Amino acid sequence: MNFCVVWINLIGSLLEKLLYLLYSALGTGLYCLLVLLFPLMRLVGGRYGYGLEQRLGRYPGRVALRRSGHSILWMHASSVGETQAAVILIDALLRSCASLRIFLTSTTEQGHRMAQSRLSEKVVCLLAPLDAPPAVRRAVRFLRPDLYIGLETELWPVLLTRLRAAGVPLLLLNGRISERSFGRYRRIRSFMQSFLAGFEAVAAISEADGLRFAGLGVPESRIQVCGNLKYDMPAEQMEHTRAAQRKRLGVAEQKVFVCGSTHEGEEAMLAPVYRKLAATFPVVWVVAPRHLERLPAVEALFRRLYLPFERYSELAGKERTAAVVLVDVMGDLADLYCGGDHIFCGGSLVDRGGHNVMEAARWGRPVCFGPYMKDFNDAAHLLQSTGGGFQVADADALTALLLHHHARPEAYLAACTRAAETAAGQRGAVARQAGIVCQCLASSRKTTNAAPFLP
């Protein structure tokens, strides 16, 4: 029996190594192809050429990265959502950890642009290297970090393996794994476990996330449930944000119906909801498609439905003239939720897994969502159980609920209170996670010798 177990483990280890080698080989092939095509892609420009040099691990200049007494922290926030969390964490770290220099990398153009607009004076904002050995090797050699932090579910095998081999401590903060992703990862559990084992600590958003990380092989002793960084925002900042958003939308007494992160097909379902609301009370409909490349299709839909609209970017410095606002920028939705009165989270009337309902609930507004919430089922269930969130079967049910809240202001205000209280229960994450970072940095300073960094 023991002999069989040894053979099974040996075969599993070999398969794991083969899978990693295949992944690395494919990454190297892609890297070589991009190097060959680089002059053409640079000439063409657009999103395919955006920051390609940095994606290949070629960062600008040979700046003096290391200063006497400074620790270098490499934080990776893939896109806009993770960057929002990074902003909050970085502010806390710069206040609590002395002599810290931070490099923030992003995978997407939107995330990189948002990082630059919010953090350019505090940190160095770069694009992340492709998860291919040549690009990763260049990036690690250039940044020479004392600590690496991945946010949410940023699990890049080559990068994590290379950093671990270089002796760089790894942290996964604001960690989350959806039920759907967990099902996929579990099929390659041994492969996942091999590089998840490199994390010194995993700060999970919820108990369910923590259990899923444990189910993928992370030792329970390294998992802490810390809550979500995105919910830690002072009350005075909330009031300022709401006032600023409603001023930009040009509303005073009017209600604002915000539909965030909508997917293909949802705008057509939601248009009749807006029309029925508008027939009952003055309302501005704010629509924020999840993917900006869908803007032309959404605009065409509005024209077919004879719905006059304005782009959100055009409202800066001018008066709004249409009752429908189409959000055409990335990174503003979280604040736009604050200016809303009735909120719907998209990707849930169509089967796209839903989106982060707590991001809206933290502003003290009840959140509505459809039947498809696989990716954020935990948060949706929590809000439903407290009465701060409402799951609807379809657009007709959404209309009935919103009209009920309008006719029964006491029920609406009670739901606002419950949403705020539920979100408030998730706060404190920034202090807990910043503490993990500072503790890890202090520990690494004690154990690191003065040898040169040679990954």
The pLDDT of residue 452:
39
Q: Write down the CATH number for the domain with range 235-424.
A: 3.40.50.2000
Q: How many angstroms separate the CA atoms of 398 and 371, rounded?
A: 11
- DSSP, collapsed to helix, strand or coil, labels residue 424 as helix
User: Is 82 one of the catalytic residues?
Assistant: yes
- DSSP, collapsed to helix, strand or coil, labels residue 148 as strand
- DSSP, collapsed to helix, strand or coil, labels residue 429 as helix
The pLDDT of residue 206:
87
Pairing of β 389-391 and β 324-326: unpaired
By C-alpha distance, which of 150, 174, 153, 177 is closest to 164? 150
Q: Do 42-58+67-232+429-442 and 235-424 have matching folds?
A: yes
- Identify the architecture of domain 42-58+67-232+429-442 in CATH: 3-Layer(aba) Sandwich (3.40)
Give the side-chain half-sphere CA count within 13 A for 316: 5
Angle at 451 between CA 445 and CA 455, to 5 degrees: 95
Which DSSP string do the residues of 332-375 spell out, in sequence order?
A: -HHHHHHH-SEEEESSTTTTS----THHHHTTS--EEE-S--GG
**Contact of 330 with 117, CB cutoff 8 Å:** no
Q: What is the mean pLDDT, run by run of 10 residues, along the chain of 455 residues?
A: 47 69 92 88 72 90 57 91 89 84 92 86 90 95 94 91 94 91 87 87 92 93 91 70 91 94 97 98 97 95 97 89 94 89 97 91 94 90 95 98 97 95 85 92 64 40
The pLDDT of residue 5:
41
* Domain boundary assignment for the chain: 42-58+67-232+429-442, 235-424
Q: How many angstroms separate the CA atoms of 152 and 203, rounded?
A: 9
The pLDDT of residue 359:
86
Q: How many angstroms separate the CA atoms of 276 and 176, rounded?
A: 37
Catalytic position from the list 82, 266, 267, 310: 82
What would the two tokens of residue 118 be? Answer: 């919010």
By C-alpha distance, which of 250, 311, 308, 256 is closest to 282? 256
The pLDDT of residue 371:
97
**Contact of 57 with 136, CB cutoff 8 Å:** yes
The pLDDT of residue 122:
78
**Contact of 199 with 213, CB cutoff 8 Å:** no
